[in-house]
């Protein structure tokens, strides 16, 4: 059964969502991410994906204090991404209570640093972020596209021991237009051993069921919750999250 992971994106300490990663298309949903996290836990969720959008833009962690509040006020298993560029950043994330970190840009720009983190912290604590636009890996808060193609990029790190990959189709993110199922099927066909976390475009229970039917291991979703597109009670009944 697919693993369900709600998302909290943070700008200026608030719970927000962007559309297609555009900082000019920002919607603020709640003032307290920690309060939202507590509500997710009360509903029965076990995992939480937290993104420091200020950090992604600034190229260093900004909202570690918000992360700390979430991890001290809940028992959720939190993975944290956004702005992790240095040894100091990754240590700060773990010190603030993240059990896992999602790292994307550094895997493109400084692969030797990412490899060092993978060896030091272990594959269970590292999630490779693979954010895709027009078939290329995007970096630095989706403001730049690299020359890396998705499947060869993944192969390099899977061969090095990566087990967990968060893949976002940027053109889908925040649009509520449905996930990029064909993209995720392509990844799983190439690397069936991968714990792939699909991200972007989830708009309904039907989208989650479609991903589940294709054997996608996990899904991250946020805007569909905040916009009331998914009935969380129905979700709990269907997937036994509570």
> Which residues are catalytically annotated?
9, 131
DSSP assigned state of 114: H
Tokens of 207: 């989208």
Do 144 and 138 meet the contact criterion of CB atoms below 8 Å apart? yes
- Secondary element (H or E) of residue 193: none
Beta bridge partners of 47: 77
Please, what is the end-to-end C-alpha distance for the chain in angstroms? 15
Query: 44: number of CA atoms within 13 Å, CB side?
Result: 13
Angle CA 98–101–103, to nearest 5: 155
Nearest alpha-carbon partner for 212 in 181, 189, 173? 181
C-alpha span between 112 and 126 (Å, rounded): 15
The answer for residues whose C-beta is within 8 angstroms of residue 119's C-beta and 6 or more apart is none
């Amino acid at each position: 059964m697919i693993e369900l992971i709600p998302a909290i994106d943070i700008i200026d300490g608030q719970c927000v969502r962007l559309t297609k990663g555009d900082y000019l298309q920002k919607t603020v949903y709640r003032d307290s991410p920690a309060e939202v996290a507590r509500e997710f836990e009360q509903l029965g969720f076990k995992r939480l994906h937290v993104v420091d959008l200020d950090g992604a833009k600034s190229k260093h962690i900004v909202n570690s204090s918000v992360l700390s509040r979430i991890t001290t006020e809940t028992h959720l298993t939190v993975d944290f991404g956004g702005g992790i560029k240095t040894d100091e950043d990754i240590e700060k994330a773990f010190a603030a209570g993240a059990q896992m970190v999602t790292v994307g840009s550094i895997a493109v720009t400084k692969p030797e640093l990412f490899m060092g983190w993978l060896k030091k912290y272990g594959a269970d604590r590292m999630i490779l972020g693979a954010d895709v636009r027009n078939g290329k890996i995007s970096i630095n808060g989706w403001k730049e596209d690299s020359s890396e193609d998705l499947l060869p990029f993944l192969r390099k790190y899977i061969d090095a021991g990566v087990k967990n990959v968060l893949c976002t189709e940027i053109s889908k993110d925040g649009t509520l237009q449905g996930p990029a199922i064909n993209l995720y099927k392509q990844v799983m066909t190439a690397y069936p051993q991968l714990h792939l976390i699909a991200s972007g475009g989830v708009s309904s229970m039907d989208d989650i069921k479609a991903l589940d039917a294709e054997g996608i291991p996990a899904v991250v979703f946020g805007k569909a919750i905040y916009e009331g597109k998914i009935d969380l009670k129905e979700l709990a009944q269907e997937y036994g999250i509570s």
